[in-house]
Amino acid sequence: MEENTSGLTLLGLGAMGTALAHAWLAAGHRLTVWNRTPGRAKQLVGRGARIAPSAAEAVAANRLVVTCLLDDASVGETLDGADLAGRDLVNLTTGTPAQARARAAWAAERGARFLDGGIMAVPPMIGVQEAGAFILYSGSRDLFDEHRDTLAVPAHPVYVGEDAGYAALHDVALLSAMTGMFAGIAHAFALLRREKGISPKEFAPMLAGWLTAMTSSAYGTADQLESGDYTRNVTSNLAMMVEGNATMLRTAEEQGVSAELLTPFMTLMERRLADGYGDEDTTGVIDLILR
Ligand code: FVH
């Protein structure tokens, strides 16, 4: 396959890879695709995509090569045997920071520039500018700057640093915060689950509004961490919050709900209070979990 300089190659046509392909094709980009299971690529031919017979030939077709595969191991498997010299490799496969750093070194040994990406979106948000999706990037700044317009097509690109591990680290930090929020949502609905007089659909806007209002606490935590003063601008102190925990635990008991989603965090709050930090809020918990 002949190399072209303005097109791009996409390896991986799962749910996310297919959404990326549609976005680039809709924006008029020349796209070469490859997928392990070839049938998944066929639907894109009618939209103008070129199907490469092998991953190596797909890599040879364009300077810019994007991978969106299951995991880091599948990236290694797919690119094994491809000539990466002179390529700009952008890996949108979710992985850990250490995997991203190792993949960056691996790409450099093969003569490629490397950018790791963390997609903060689900497939239907890709290519929909108003959906609020963004993609975190870290690694080669030159690669990012040169391909910024192309990278901006699926979702807003956010560059977070030369350290190739930073995109994955930001990604996982955001997903971890989301996981805690999902735990809270699950517990809240469980409390109401057996109440005939409370409709989940009526409660949902109240819950979403409350969580939205509470997210500004992230700024307060950041300010305390950067100043080193965990008592700065405290509005609800730990001593008061631990008292409130008792009410939450009693209510869970009354409603026949296990408190297992809440207790890990509450236990840490109690430990911090017992250590004498009742005039802080919950920022000190961060120090307790650092190993
Ligand atoms: N889908 C989502 O909501 C999330 C949103 C945030 C980012 N993730 C990450 O994106 C990567 C790809 O996710 P996906 O949704 O496209 O995943 P699948 O639909 O499961 O497709 C997986 C593709 O990977 C290919 N593949 C798997 N193993 C291998 C292998 N050993 N060698 C070559 N290719 C492999 C698979 O091929 P096939 O099964 O069709 O042959 C698919 O193309 C992922 O890192 C998410 O965490 C998505």
- Helix or strand holding residue 151 (H, E): helix 148-151
Q: Is the pLDDT of residue 5 over 80?
A: no
- For the chain, what is the mean pLDDT? 97
Tell me the CA distances in angstroms from 89 to 78, 137, 283, one per residue in order: 13, 12, 39
Instruction: Give the whole-number percent of the chain exceeding pLDDT 70.
Output: 98
pLDDT in tens, 70-122: 999 999 999 999 999 999 999 999 999 999 999 999 999 999 999 999 999 99
Between CA 263 and CA 257 the distance in angstroms is 12
Token pair 């997609």: residue: 119
Q: Is the pLDDT of residue 69 over 90?
A: yes
> Does pTM surpass 0.75?
yes
Please compute the mean of the pLDDT values over residues 193-206 and round it to a whole number.
98
Please compute the mean of the pLDDT values over residues 246-264 and round it to a whole number.
98
Task: Indicate which residue's Cα is closest to atom 35 of ligand 1.
Answer: 74
Token pair for 231: 């008592």
Ligand 1 pocket mutation pick from 16, 35, 40, 71 by most atoms within 8 angstroms of CB: 16
Q: Which of 102, 105, 74 is nearest to 168 (CA)?
A: 102
Confidence of residue 213 (pLDDT cuts 50, 70, 90): very high
Is the CB of 154 within 6 Å of ligand 1?
A: no
Q: Which of 3, 1, 8, 4 is nearest to 151 (CA)?
A: 8
pLDDT of residue 99: 98
pLDDT in tens, 154-187: 999 999 999 999 999 999 999 999 999 999 999 9
Task: Indicate which residue's Cα is closest to atom 2 of ligand 1.
Answer: 122
Please compute the mean of the pLDDT values over residues 126-154 and round it to a whole number.
97
| Residues 119, 132 contacting (CB under 8 angstroms) | no
Beta strand 113-120 with 88-91 is: parallel
Token pair 């209070």: residue: 273
Q: Is the pLDDT of residue 4 over 70?
A: no
Task: Indicate which residue's Cα is closest to atom 32 of ligand 1.
Answer: 74
Q: Which of 136, 191, 188 is nearest to 164 (CA)?
A: 136
Q: Is the pLDDT of residue 2 over 90?
A: no
Fill in the DSSP letter of residue 52.
P
Confidence of residue 10 (pLDDT cuts 50, 70, 90): very high
Between CA 110 and CA 194 the distance in angstroms is 60
Neighbours of 20 (CB within 10 A): 27
Buried b (16+ CB within 10 A) or exposed e, 86-120: ebbbbbbbbbebebbbbbbebbbebebbbbbbbbb
Between CA 146 and CA 192 the distance in angstroms is 52
Task: Indicate which residue's Cα is closest to atom 30 of ligand 1.
Answer: 74
Which numbered atom of ligand 1 lies nearest the CA of 13? Answer: 43
Beta strand 113-120 with 134-139 is: antiparallel
Is the CB of 283 within 6 Å of ligand 1?
A: no
pLDDT of residue 6: 72
Between CA 84 and CA 65 the distance in angstroms is 9
Which numbered atom of ligand 1 lies nearest the CA of 55? Answer: 33
